[in-house]
Amino acid sequence: MAAPVRLGRKRPLPVCPNPLFVRWLTEWRDEAASRGRRTRFVFEKALRSLRRYPLPLRNGKEAKILQHFGDRLCRMLDERLQQHQVSGGDSLIRLLVGTLTLKYVSRLRTRLLQPPDSVGGPPVQSQAGSSGSYWPAQHSGTRAILLELYQVHLDSDGHSFLSKEELLQRCAQRAPKAVPGSARPWPALRSLLHRSLVLRTHQPARYSLTPEGLELAQKLAESEGLCLLNVGTGPEDLPGEELTVPGAASAELGASEGGIQQPRLQLGPGEYRVLLCVDIGETRGVGHRTGLLRELQRLNVNHVVRKLHVGDFVWVAQETRSKDPARPAELVLDHIVERKRLHDLCSSIIDGRFREQKFRLKRCGLGRRVYLVEDHGSVHNLSLPESTLLQAVTNTQVIDGFFVKHTADTKESAAYLALLTRGLERLYQGHTLRSRPWGTPGHPDLGTRPSPNPLCSLLTFSDFNAGAIKNKAQSVREVFARQLMQVGGVSGEKAAALVDRYSTPASLLAAYDACATSKEQEMLLSTVKCGRLQRNLGPALSRTLSQLYCSCSPLT
């Protein structure tokens, strides 16, 4: 029986935006296959990734944004491109890059509002194509994110990314009920990162579409354009719509799951007092812990005992004339102290808490971090040698940037805290303090050079304590970073650099699978730039990580 004939107009195939790169990769793949080399799989994966990318590339370096394109493959493309230019192919390249950029991008731009061939609804999940069966629901946060990033991708002049604040503002106009406040987690964005549809880079974070996300967003844009045309919205109506929505969207932007974001807090001179907050863990037990509070009382230090999720001592500016005396407004000053006795320091180094606590202190939102080492008892009765403790404390000051203070006993520690409290009272006297959202820098020059003026843009105590919760819900990226830090030699900065390039274990394993030889696997991470000096991760640590993630047998 003959197959049924499908009637209807055939959809024209899109123009290949990178024909030269596709041709060269195909030649390299066929050559590797004829010689029986495993590199044919590398070229095949890169070829599939390039064919899914809808925009032209000007050189091999630009192809690095695509999946399965490493430094070596990009160099091969650049070398072949130079040979092609020398042999007289320069005019063809200009024609491809210029004409395709104008025509192809213009065609993609107009598809958002292009009339469909026949009236119909958005495609069902089974029509999602190479993006899998995932299809975001109408008016959902994930749908709004993909469409806004796609619009920026089409309209971009040299960049196709958005910061989280820009993404929040744009998505609030499209799906206001699905957008949280700026200081709250965003499950929709986390879901897209987990599905590798959105890529996060840089610090502060920049969000852009991956090739798979671009393909799905293009299909969403087609269905979204259909819905807009059904209600009579044309290209001329879009700017006016953008001018009328932000008023309502700004109100929705502060709302998150039924709650409304609190207004900005401001405390003028004479409207607040400096108060020392002591972690409740410093008061439990007997002996030196209760003795610290007695010393603070003897020195007339205004203090209060609370549960702190990070650090042992912080200072707050507490409102003195509050409308609700039971719950006065409080802003956290830019100083935090972590107190360690020598035996506590030994145990934290042994069980790994030492590095984790420093990592969390650097991410708590406060810039002036003090590490208070209390030399209580004899060094000879400890489980680690004195040289190890001295090296750990020195690294904390030199590498991590903490201010390290040594004290002899509990009385001297209390005296130092009292001195800091008096100094902060004088430092902030006569200054107006304002609140700022969690995750935003308090001062643009913070950490670059010392300043005689105090930081007056501060976090509220509730935001500070909630943002520092240790066991809060974490993304795959955060758990992956913590996993990497368990490997010897991987610091917080190195783990952050690794997850910036490979945000999930799956992406790292895929990169290892794309390597042709075990030697390439061992050197895959050696050129990752880490820290403020942007030094390479190094071959030794790269080899250790490759053994961890590529060895099927038990590690010895």
Q: Could you read off the pLDDT of 44-70 as tens digits, one per residue?
A: 888 888 887 777 888 888 888 788 888
Write down the pLDDT at residue 95.
41
User: Do residues 14 and 54 touch, judged by C-beta distance below 8 A?
Assistant: yes
Task: For residue 17, say if its preceding peptide bond is cis, omega within 30 degrees of 0.
Answer: no
**Mean pLDDT along residues 320-346:** 87
* CA 525 from centre of chain: 19
Q: Residue 478 contacts by C-beta under 8 Å, 6 or more apart in sequence?
A: none
Residue 233 banded pLDDT, cuts 50, 70, 90: very low
Pairing of strands 303-306, 330-341: unpaired
Burial 203-227 (b: 16+ CB within 10 A, else e): eeebbbbbbbbbbbbbbbbebbbbe
- Please give the DSSP secondary-structure letter assigned to residue 131: G
Handedness of CA 303, 305, 311, 312 (dihedral sign): positive
- 252 catalytic per annotation: no
Task: List, for residues 5-25, the tens digit of each pLDDT value.
Answer: 555 555 554 567 888 888 889
SS3 call for 296: helix
Q: Considering the candidates 165, 282, 493, 520, report the single residue annotated as catalytic.
A: 282
Q: Considering the candidates 212, 312, 334, 374, report the single residue annotated as catalytic.
A: 312
Dig out the tokens for 163 from the structure: 């910061």
Q: Considering the candidates 279, 319, 374, 500, report the single residue annotated as catalytic.
A: 279
CA dist., res. 285 & res. 522, Å (int): 50
Write down the pLDDT at residue 102.
44
- 271 catalytic per annotation: no
Residue 111 banded pLDDT, cuts 50, 70, 90: very low
User: Do residues 378 and 344 touch, judged by C-beta distance below 8 A?
Assistant: no
Write down the pLDDT at residue 453.
63
CA dist., res. 441 & res. 366, Å (int): 9
- 493 catalytic per annotation: no
Burial 98-133 (b: 16+ CB within 10 A, else e): eebeeebbeebeeebbeeeeeeeeeeeeeebeebee
Task: List, for residues 369-383, the tens digit of each pLDDT value.
Answer: 999 998 866 666 777
Rounded alpha-carbon distances, angstroms, from residue 264 to 331, 360, 459: 11, 26, 10
At residue 125's C-alpha, the angle toward residues 122 and 128, to 5°, is 80
Structure-model confidence comparison of residues 146 and 246, the more confident one: 146
Average per-residue pLDDT for the chain: 76
**Mean pLDDT along residues 213-233:** 62
For the cut 70, the answer to whether the pLDDT of residue 310 exceeds it is yes
The pTM is what? Answer: 0.47
Write down the pLDDT at residue 106.
47
